[in-house]
Amino acid sequence: MSFRSLSALPPVFSSLVRTTSIVSRIPPLTSRFLHSRKRAPVIPHTSIQIFREVPEFRIWRRKQLLDHRTIGLVPTMGALHEGHLSLIRMAAAENHNVVVSVYVNPTQFGVHEDLDSYPKTWEKDCEMLKRLDKEIAGDGGNLGKVAAVFAPTTDVMYPSGPPSQEVNGKGSFVTITPAGELLEGASRPTFFRGVATVCMKLFNIVTPEKVYFGQKDVQQTVVIRKMVKDFCLGTDVVVGATQREADGLALSSRNVYLGTRRRKIATVLSKALRVAEAAYGRGCRSRDEILGPANELTKLLLREQYQLEPHERVKFEVDYLSLADLDTMEELDEVDSTRGAILSGAVKMLPVESPQPGEDLGLSDGPAVRLIDNIILKSKQMASSI
């Protein structure tokens, strides 16, 4: 039937035929969502929607844009802890809606790293977000709320298949150099390539006004800021303070691997960094003056462990202690007190030696755990503004 012959039909039928004709010409994907736009599932007893597919999320995101609602993104790999929650609180204070991504990204793990054993705690994470949702709702000082969780599968995030975890593997990558080749990048050559790639994907999917990272992963924040700047991405990178246990250990999802014995010694890195910070506070500015005391402390603490019996001691290896530029992560011989610097380090806690019957070895029987931490050495200007 032609549109010309529609005039002979009653108005209601004419309208129906026109609508049917128009819908039939809509691309299949769009048509499917027009006819089956169902509300996404939610975390029980909350309004927090759960999205696992990109098209559904983009429909929701477009509505926020049309309603002039700003979005803050908190990228995570799940196994949420107080450090993540502090970032979500920051995002809720500054944005109408907060999106929390939960995705264990395979491309930032090396071939022999702990991808398979990385903690996956979906139910616990949802319960934490539920409690936080109530807390944020009860705080009248917040602009927004936790609105959505984006929890895709690897097939969604890597539609052509995940790029290889090999150093020289093929795939679609985002690489940020030289910042991504130093320190953590030198020890874990595929790490920042994987981080930058997955973050670029998340930023393209979520299109947040602001994205939130913790200072504990300070080199990651340097890499992401450079990526946002160099690729002209329309988002602001906000960095929240490192959250710590009472004894100074930086919160990390990997801390669950430590177990009781190694947990007591895991503060070796934070102690070393504080010693270096104290040297800077006394007026030391050269690399040797600042890092020297930190290196001596780690050696002393390791000697103490080797004096213990095998069933009591904890072995660890210092990967690096760094004194680096704030913007490039390049190593410094001297700190310019008008700019400040980044103190950072990495320590590998080795598996427990001579485990005892019933001893708490940590998740997955306590594999080697790599801990990172950092302290910002403040410039004179930064210190005076506090």
Are 374 and 216 a contacting pair, CB within 8 Å? yes
The Cα 83–Cα 241 span in angstroms is: 9
Q: Which strands make up the sheet holding 97-102, listed edge to edge? A: 49-51, 145-150, 97-102, 71-76, 210-214, 236-240
DSSP states along 17-58 = HHHHHHHHTS-HHHHHHHH--PPPPB-TTS--EEE-SHHHHH
- Give the number of residues written for the chain: 386
Alpha helices in 172-286 (DSSP H): 184-187, 191-206, 218-230, 259-265, 268-281
Are 370 and 262 a contacting pair, CB within 8 Å? no
Are 127 and 380 a contacting pair, CB within 8 Å? no
Catalytic, out of 45, 81, 84, 96 = 84
Could you count the other beta carbons within 10 Å of the beta carbon of residue 26? 13
Q: Does 45 participate in catalysis according to the annotation?
A: no
Q: Looking at residue 291, what DSSP letter applies?
A: H
- In this structure, are strands 145-150 and 97-102 parallel, antiparallel, or unpaired? parallel
Q: Where do we find the tokens 């769009």?
A: 30
Q: Which two tokens stand for residue 374?
A: 């950092």
Are 156 and 53 a contacting pair, CB within 8 Å? yes
Are 222 and 256 a contacting pair, CB within 8 Å? no
Q: Looking at residue 106, what DSSP letter applies?
A: G
Counting Cβ atoms within 10 Å, is residue 22 exposed (0-12), middle (13-18) or buried (19+)? exposed
Could you count the other beta carbons within 10 Å of the beta carbon of residue 178? 11
Catalytic residue positions, numbered:
84
